[in-house]
A and B are shown apart, each in its own frame.
Chain A
Amino acid sequence: MLTFILRRVLWTALVMFVITVIVFIIFFKTPGVDPARALAGRSPNAQTLAEIRAQLGLNRPFPIEYGIMMKKIFITRDLVSYSNQGVLVIPEIGQAAPATLSLVFGAALIWVVMAIAVGIAAALLRGTIFDPLLMIVALVGISAPVFWVGQMANMISQSTLHGTFLFSWVPPLGYTPFPQDPLLWFKGLVIPWITLSLLYIGFYGRVLRANLLEVQNEDYVRTARAKGISERRVLARHTLRTSMITFVSLFGLDFGALVAGSTLLTEVVFGIHGVGYLTWQAFTNLDLPTIMATTVYGAFFIVLANAVVDIAYAWLDPRIRPT
């Protein structure tokens, strides 16, 4: 187990290194693109360009340029956004993080509970009309573009039905930090949470149903039934437990990806100023330093999340350790 963890950690470090190199190549070495011009934002003057060249050590050898960029992102954290009046990029990401985390945690709670309900219901109702019906509804959830669902939700809750008792409680779009007003924080996030979780409810519900039906015919389930255990207990203690292995490992990966920036569309549609929104703003301002930093941090978060999932998985299920 220890060698497994050690190998996994070393591998994680190597992946992180390669990621930084790829980001470096995208932003500094794209053929035909002058990195100073690209990083400077819209219509820079000659003075800014010279400043950028000096600060980032452009024109110096490849490894030194790379080293300076890494130092500015991770050690001194003084990477500057040129299109945004010299704001420091890394602290700005730190300020945006709570909004993204609030969004992801709430949505994750909803999707885990709902997906387990949908999966179990569909598996129990197999052979009736409700199973295919539930699966089609799940597929609709998977197929709907999240930004469009968000727009529709906004249209209904902010305009069409805002006057009725159904949606009169919905505050205007935007994010209120939790310490400032917990109630408003909650009210403002309910609809974004539901919007974001729809896709995952559908996907996880389908995965869970498939896994539940797969283990249904395993020997140990038959044994449990033969012992005379109640059907509810068989589900809770035997089938659901094994079926949750895929569910849990997928959850780790999706959760990591969401925190690392996949909430971008939801944040943009609902005006939640999180990391994804920050990246999108940076894109509209052609603010490359910010995009570079969110991409590197996001990718690092995903790699770390994957490593944690792998180690947890190996700890739970010794059969897969040797790899």
Chain B
Amino acid sequence: MATLLEQVQVDTELRPAIAGRNPWALAARRLWRNRIAMASLGLFLLIVVVSVAAPLFARDVAHVNPFLPNLNGHTVVGGKVVPVMQQGGGVLKLGETPIGPTWDLSHYFLGADSVGRDVAALLLYGGRSSLLIGVGSAVLCCLAATVVALIAGFFGGVVDALLSRLMDVIWAFPVYLLAISLSTELLTHSSGFQIGPVHVDASSLWLPTIIIAFIYVPYVYRPVRGQVLSVVKKEFVEAATAQGAGNLRLIFSEILPNVASTVIVLLPLIIATTILTESALSFLGIGVQPPNVSWGSIIQDGTDLVYTRPWVTIAPGLMILLTVLSLNVLGDGVRDALDPRAKLRVEG
């Protein structure tokens, strides 16, 4: 008790008045104290680091090039040299079955896929594309949606009506059908295509990134626009206008900082959604194109092996599940930290 009192006295002596505290710092502290959220952030970062290290793993640990078929290769299991593609394995005792998991990091840890490539190395490379597309399209989507929402909410009237109706129309398209339409149209040109001065290769990761970003713009636009509309009417915006602030200044220094928290709350949840969408599209053969791999396309490759070599399917699915789960839990934590009053709300 005495020490507590002393501390209070010391504190009041050192600080003449209550120091103003930045709401962002407060939120960061709340988030920091949320153990479950921090654990999921740690898990997510771990997955990112491991995926980024894919080339290191392939070169220095597994000693394979996971992009080349290895139908005639050999590896070592328990001190014995065995072929990667085994004759007459599987249920039917016919044809070739790739080697199963050896649980030995340097020799086909998770086994091989249908053309003898190291699944563990593919998994890490797949994580690179999945995370790159997921995070990239979520960031693109949030940026685009915020810009449109700022314009719509700030200018209001006809501009707002037109933009909001346009968003309603995009919203109305079934997600996968819209993605299929866009990608078939773009992929029919295997040589890539030309938009003005920019040449986009058909196997470029930019295609799925842009398609996925486009699909989810309305999902971010709606809540952000609502927030802009409520901020525009506040007194401090009026005060800035009275001081002669121009439109750009009003938008960027008065309104944007006050809607940023809405976007930040949405970001982890949108990344979770875009990663799921990317994996689904790649599973269907619409997303990432060969030679690139992603978790979804590995699951697709594993379809024919699911009864004999299930780990080709299980492993990438678990990676998606863990990544998306960690982002969803983190998203909940971020929301609670930035808006403590909304503790009971669920994204919807």
Binding site for B on A (CB under 8 A): 14-15, 18-19, 22-23, 26-27, 30-33, 37-38, 139-140, 142-148, 151-152, 154-155, 158-159, 206-207, 209-210, 213-214, 246, 250, 257, 260-262, 264-265, 268, 276, 279-280, 283-284, 286, 288, 291-292, 294-295, 298-299, 302-303, 306
Contact = CB atoms under 8 A, between A and B. Distances in A.
Most buried by B among A22, A145, A151, A280: A145
29 contacts: A15-B168, A15-B169, A18-B169, A19-B173, A26-B181, A26-B185, A33-B185, A33-B188, A33-B189, A140-B321, A143-B272, A143-B276, A143-B321, A143-B325, A146-B280, A148-B313, A148-B316, A152-B314, A154-B306, A159-B306, A257-B175, A262-B176, A265-B284, A276-B176, A280-B180, A286-B188, A299-B172, A299-B177, A302-B172
Give chain B's interface secondary structure class.
helix
A282 to B, nearest CB: 8
A210 B344 contact: yes
Contacts of B185: 26-27, 30, 33, 38, 288
Most buried by A among B174, B176, B193, B310: B174
B172 A303 contact: yes
A32 B181 contact: no
B324 A213 contact: no
Contact of B176 (A22, A154, A261, A306): A261
Contacts, number: 161
Interface of B: 91, 165-166, 168-169, 172-178, 180-186, 188-189, 193-195, 272, 276, 279-280, 283-286, 296, 299, 302-303, 306-307, 310, 313-314, 316-317, 320-321, 324-325, 328-329, 344-346, 348
A152 B317 contact: yes
Give chain A's interface secondary structure class.
helix
A148 B320 contact: yes
Given A145-B317, A145-B321, A286-B188, 11 more contacts: A27-B181, A27-B185, A32-B193, A142-B328, A145-B279, A147-B283, A260-B174, A264-B176, A265-B284, A279-B176, A288-B184
Contacts of B186: 30
B174 A283 contact: no
A151 B188 CA distance: 29
A295 B173 CA distance: 7
Contacts of B177: 260-261, 264, 279, 291, 294-295, 298-299
A288 to B, nearest CB: 6
Nearest to A21: B169
Given A27-B181, A155-B313, A292-B181, A207 B348 contact: yes
Contacts of A213: 344
Contact of A145 (B175, B307, B320, B344): B320
A286 B183 CA distance: 10
A291 B303 contact: no
B346 A31 contact: no
B174 A302 contact: yes
B321 A151 contact: no
A306 B184 contact: no
Contact of B280 (A27, A142, A145, A158): A145
B333 to A, nearest CB: 12
Contacts of A279: 176-177, 180
A246 B279 contact: no
A213 B175 CA distance: 32
A280 B174 CA distance: 14
A306 B174 CA distance: 13
Nearest to B169: A18
